[in-house]
Chain A
């Protein structure tokens, strides 16, 4: 028998079982996760990096993305949609400003950085600066021709 808390329009059927199992499995309940946002994946190839960051519900227009040499900064604000005149029953999605700074392993060609947003996931393509890509070093030898 499920008992309803008056204010809750819906209640988690599996709150006592499945979700606790989720927590035990992953230690990652986003409802309790505050500090690190957005979480970042960074991928590298010879030519550059790709940074991937989930930013659900944050429109591209409200994300401030800056790059300076090898430091990428992501700033923005989460302002969850709230229907007018509706009663809030439950509010778990986080709100408010966020900022994260990533130091990349190599300098970036800042003028060629590209960013795109899809399904609430930001992807930033960061080509390495030509100066930072591998270069063959000539070894000078002293003395005259042998």
Chain B
């Protein structure tokens, strides 16, 4: 199997009654490659997984906006959620070098281009 997980840890929560939703994503083309930014509020590194298999990048994350102990629900606009989204990676991107970070409920995934396809400054030799 050519797939591998990047170190955002594995999902540990159950996903029984969760609503599957596609998180909104911003995508940027940078000098190094592609930056993907997704809103996944309520996810921790433990409830989020990012997997690359062949040329597919899959994000999955669980979040619950649950009651503190002893509290009853009066209004519930946020159900327990399973964020699910997949992307096809362009052939010039390097799936082996993906890195990810999570902050304030926002997931940022950096996907560098392969060395051959990265922009490079060409020296002009003078004689």
Contacts and interface: CB of A to CB of B under 8 A. Distances in A.
A85 interface: yes
Interface centre among B22, B67, B84, B106 (most CB of A within 10 A): B22
A86 interface: yes
Interface in A110-127: 117, 119-121
A105 B75 CA distance: 11
Contacts of A52: 65, 78
Contacts of A119: 41-44, 63, 102, 104-105
Given A10-B34, A18-B86, A40-B75, A57 B29 contact: no
Given A56-B41, A58-B104, A81-B37, A2 B88 contact: yes
Interface in A1-49: 2, 4, 8-14, 18-19, 21-22, 25-26, 28-31, 36, 39-45, 49
Interface residues of A, number: 55
Given A25-B19, A121-B65, A10 B36 contact: yes
Which secondary structure characterizes the binding site on chain B?
A: strand
A54 interface: yes
Contacts of B89: 10
Contacts of A105: 74
B94 interface: no
A69 interface: no
B88 A22 contact: no
Contact of B105 (A19, A86, A120): A120
Nearest to A7: B29
A41 B65 contact: yes
A22 B21 contact: yes
Interface residues of B, number: 51
Given A19-B22, A44-B74, A54-B105, A88 B34 contact: no
A22 B97 CA distance: 30
Contact of B75 (A21, A22, A42, A120): A42
B29 A87 contact: yes
Interface string B1-45: 000000000000000000111111111111100111111111110
18 contacts: A13-B86, A29-B21, A36-B77, A40-B75, A43-B67, A44-B71, A45-B68, A49-B74, A54-B78, A54-B105, A57-B39, A85-B31, A90-B25, A93-B37, A119-B43, A119-B105, A120-B39, A121-B42
Given A28-B21, A120-B40, 13 more contacts: A22-B20, A22-B21, A30-B23, A44-B71, A50-B71, A56-B39, A56-B104, A80-B26, A82-B28, A85-B31, A93-B37, A93-B39, A94-B24
